[in-house]
């Protein structure tokens, strides 16, 4: 005869404080790493037009990684906004537009995850979410940068590179990172506890 106690269990359905805080720090760490990496990258890369598009996917990495770790609705959007918040708080020259970009990009990623009912967390789906976020950024670019007035070849090249980079970085790279974190035992406590674990108490 026994009684199962799970004070937190039912609450875990929505986003908890822990979920939000973890999402925010994931975004924070990736932002810091991105800044270091992109500075190295820009030294190494041969400067050709729009070459920065090749690392653009890093901007969406936080939202897919946060989702791959926590797997709940809303984290992809929060991760994007958190990244923008930190850029702004520490004096980025891009200010408010980052906030708008982040909301639209986050919604783009969120829509893809929602299309899979938040149940799929494969590298491919994460990659699609990255492309979703990239599509969001295109939407704002049209208003913000008149990109449709670029020469057609450039327009296609620019967004093809962005889509590929989003798919690879936000998808496969972040999936690999999530797997590494899993192996390191970091993610265990982020996921809801399995029912079997409770049953094991009765052994």
Partner 1 sequence: MKRFFEPSYTTWLHRANPALKLILFVALFVMTMFVHHIDASFYLACAFLLLLFVCSGYPLWKTALLTAGFALVFVSASLTMILFGKGAEIWWSFGPIHISKESFYRGLHLGFRSIAFGCQGLLFVLTSSSTGLFYALMQRLKLSPKYAYSFMASIRLLPMVGEELRIRREALAVRGAGGSSGLGGLLRLPERYALPLLAQSIRRAQRTAAAMEVKRFDAGRRRTYYYPSPVTANDAAALLLLAAAVAAAFLLARNLPVFGLGDMRMDP
Partner 2 sequence: MKKAAMDIAIEIEPGLETKRGKEAGREAKTKAGEPHGAAPDADAQTQSGYPDGTTPAGTIDREAEGEARRQPPEAAASEEYAAEVRALRLKFPGTQQLLFRDLSLEIRRGEKVLLLGPSGCGKSTLLQVLGGVIPRVTEVPLKAERLTVPDSAGLVFQDPDTQFCMSYVDEELAFVLENLAVPRGEMDARIEAALREVGLDLPDRHMPIGDLSQGMKQRLALASVLLLEPDALLLDEPSALLDPEGRRTIWEAVRRVSARRTVIIVEHRIEEVLHWVDRIVLLRSDGSILADGAPAGLFGRYRAELREYGVWYPGAWDDAYGGAEAGAADLAAENARRGAPADGEAESPAGTQRPGGEANAPRMAARPAGRAAPGGGEARGEAPAAGAPLLRLRDFRVRRGGRTVCAAEAAEVLPGDLIALVGPNGAGKSSLLLGLMGLLAHEGVCEFGGIAPAGRRAARETAAKHAAFVFQNPEFQFVTNRALDEVAFTLRSEAERALRAGRRPLLGRRPKPDAAAESGMLRRSRGELARFGLAGFEDRHPYLLSLGQKRRLSVASAVVSDKPLLLLDEPTFGQDARNAFAILDLCERLRASGHAVLMVTHELEIADRLATQIWRIEGGRLVSAEHTGRSRSGGAFVSLVSKEGTE
Q: What is the binding site for partner 1 (CB under 8 A)? A: 15-18, 20-30, 32-34, 36-37, 40-41, 44, 49-50, 58, 69, 78, 82, 85-86, 88-100, 143-146, 148-154, 173, 176-177, 180-181, 184, 186, 189-190
d(CA 14, CA 117): 15
Q: Which residues contact 167 (CB under 8 A, 6 or more apart)?
A: 57, 127, 128, 130, 131
Q: How many CB atoms lie within 10 A of CB 81?
A: 20
DSSP 8-state class, residue 118: T
> Furthest-apart CA pair in the chain: how many Å?
74
Residue 14: CB minimum distance to partner 2, A:
12
Q: Which residues contact 36 (CB under 8 A, 6 or more apart)?
A: none
d(CA 143, CA 156): 17
Residues 5-44 vs partner 2: string with x where CB under 8 A? xxxxxxxx--------------------------------
Residue 180: CB minimum distance to partner 2, A:
7
Site residues for partner 2, window 173-202 (CB under 8 A)? Answer: 180, 183-186, 188-189, 192-194, 197-202
Comparison of 42 and 115: residue with beta carbon closer to partner 1: 42
Chain centre to alpha carbon of residue 144? 23
Q: Which residues bind partner 2 (CB under 8 A)?
A: 1-12, 180, 183-186, 188-189, 192-194, 197-203
């Amino acid at each position: 005869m026994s009684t199962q106690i799970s004070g937190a269990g039912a609450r875990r359905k929505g986003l908890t404080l822990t979920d939000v805080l973890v999402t925010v720090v994931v975004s924070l760490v990736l932002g810091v790493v991105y800044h270091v990496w992109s500075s190295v990258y820009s030294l190494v890369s041969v400067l050709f037009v729009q070459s920065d598009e090749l690392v653009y996917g890093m901007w969406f990495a936080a939202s897919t990684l946060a989702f791959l770790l926590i797997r709940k609705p809303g984290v992809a959007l929060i991760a994007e906004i958190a990244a923008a918040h930190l850029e702004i708080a520490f004096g980025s020259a891009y200010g408010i537009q980052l906030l708008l970009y982040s909301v639209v990009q986050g919604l783009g990623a969120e829509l893809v995850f929602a299309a899979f009912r938040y149940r799929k967390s494969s590298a491919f789906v994460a990659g699609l979410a990255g492309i979703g976020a990239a599509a969001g950024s295109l939407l704002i670019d049209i208003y913000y940068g008149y990109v449709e007035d670029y020469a057609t070849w450039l327009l296609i090249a620019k967004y093809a590179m962005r889509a590929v980079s989003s798919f690879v970085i936000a998808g496969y790279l972040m999936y690999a990172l999530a797997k590494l974190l899993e192996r390191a035992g970091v993610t265990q406590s982020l996921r809801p506890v399995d029912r079997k674990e409770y049953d094991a108490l009765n052994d």
